[in-house]
Amino acid sequence: MATIANYFRSEDNDADASTAYANQKSLFLSIYHLPSQVQVNFKAFITTYNETFSSEWNQEKVFGRNDPIATFKGTGRAISVGFDIPAYSLGEAKDNLARCNRIAQFMYPAYEVGNRANTIAKPPLLRLCFANLIRRAGAGDSPNAFESGLLGFIRTVTVTPSFEDSSGFFDPDAATLYPKVITVSFDYVPLHEHDLGWGEGIGFNDPTYVNFPFGKTPSDVTEYSTGEPPTPDNFVNPQAVEDAQAGPWAPGMAPGEGVLDDNNDGGIDNAEALAQRGLGVLDPEREMEDFGVVEAEGASSVLDPSRDNLPYRN
């Protein structure tokens, strides 16, 4: 398939600024149907775009234990897209309805023999591409789905012509209507073609996929820059170390001020630094009454790797 130069053309919508914008910026929603090798592009006005990442776990409840024993199964990704397709002219309204025909046809597979449902040759797999937000990781900058599209399938697609008075229809002939505005929405399930996760030189540590899933983002916006796996010491703030050495009872310093929460954001930022210095905040051997709290039985197991009853152990 050859790369398309002008994606949207019509004999009577040359004055439409959105057509020029879509062509010049290559900003459109592109869908490619693998069985038919047909691509359709929508000069779409996106109204809804959601990415959902969900981890699935098997959870087993055990007698006498409050927390379940959790076994990781996998992480799924789902994309929801909704957009309006307005028509500048009758010619564009016809084109828009034809594109909606295509997206409906893309829901069907390819067959080896006609009229026999048991001869499916290819399932209705698709490639979906929209700017840098939806595309195959490491596939380049092409706006065309057949080149850079994210592999997957559509679970449901809804096509809704607008019957509002403000939009309406073109009715050039008898028993013929072309909507001036069409709303389309669908749920897309990606099927990734590269490693997902973390490992030495693979997945998100591979420079090709470091910008997964949204692409064209700075690769150095991280919590650490040593190139090594993160450890508690990577996150110790030098000022917090000084606070810790001074002790939480230093003049003018309330217990825990600058020690547990050096960023004043409510988070325990330097737990490991405090534990190593034995200041008592996370030291099970230190009395906790000085901090206004009472240590619960078994709490020492949180930072004690020799204990067998760690909350996160199965």
pLDDT digits (tens, 9 = 90+) for 55-86: 999 999 999 999 999 999 999 999 999 999 99
- Over range 188-214, report the average pLDDT: 93
Which parts of the chain are beta strand (E)? 29-33, 38-42, 45-60, 69-86, 110-111, 120-122, 126-130, 150-161, 169-170, 178-179, 181-190, 198-199, 202-203
Where does the chain have alpha helices with state H? 17-25, 90-105, 145-148, 238-246, 271-277
- With a cut of 80, say whether residue 33 has pLDDT above it: yes
The two three-digit tokens of residue 301, written as one number: 């197991």
Pick the residue with more confidence: 18 or 76?
76
Chain centroid, CA 193 distance in Å: 16
- Over range 277-301, report the average pLDDT: 43
Q: What span, in angstroms and rounded, lies between the C-alpha atoms of 130 and 9? A: 19
Domain range annotation of the chain: 17-209, 238-303
Q: What topology does CATH give the domain 17-209? A: Elongation Factor Tu (Ef-tu); domain 3 (2.40.30)
Q: pLDDT at position 165, please?
A: 80
The two three-digit tokens of residue 21, written as one number: 């914008």
- With a cut of 60, say whether residue 227 has pLDDT above it: no
- What is the amino acid identity at position 311? P
The two three-digit tokens of residue 239, written as one number: 């000022």
Q: What percent of the chain has pLDDT over 70?
A: 63
Q: What percent of the chain has pLDDT over 90?
A: 50
Confidence grade of residue 166 (pLDDT, cut at 50, 70, 90): confident
Buried b (16+ CB within 10 A) or exposed e, 129-152: bbbebbbbbbbeeebbbbbbbbbb
- With a cut of 70, say whether residue 308 has pLDDT above it: no
Q: What is the mean pLDDT of the chain?
A: 77
Q: Which residue has the tokens 């026999």?
A: 116
Q: pLDDT at position 249, please?
A: 41
Q: pLDDT at position 180, please?
A: 95
20's CB contacts (< 8 A; 6+ apart) are none
Which parts of 200-313 are beta strand (E)? 202-203
Q: Output DSSP code: residue 282.
A: S
Q: What span, in angstroms and rounded, lies between the C-alpha atoms of 182 and 227? A: 49
**Within the chain, how many helices (H) and strands (E) appear?**
5, 13
- With a cut of 90, say whether residue 104 has pLDDT above it: yes
- Over range 282-287, report the average pLDDT: 43
Q: pLDDT at position 120, please?
A: 86
Q: pLDDT at position 298, please?
A: 42
Q: pLDDT at position 16, please?
A: 78
Q: pLDDT at position 44, please?
A: 74
pLDDT, tens only, 105-164? 999 999 888 776 678 889 999 999 999 999 999 898 999 999 999 999 999 999 999 998
Helix (H) or strand (E) holding 219: none
Q: What span, in angstroms and rounded, lies between the C-alpha atoms of 87 and 275? A: 65
Confidence grade of residue 283 (pLDDT, cut at 50, 70, 90): very low
Q: pLDDT at position 12, please?
A: 55
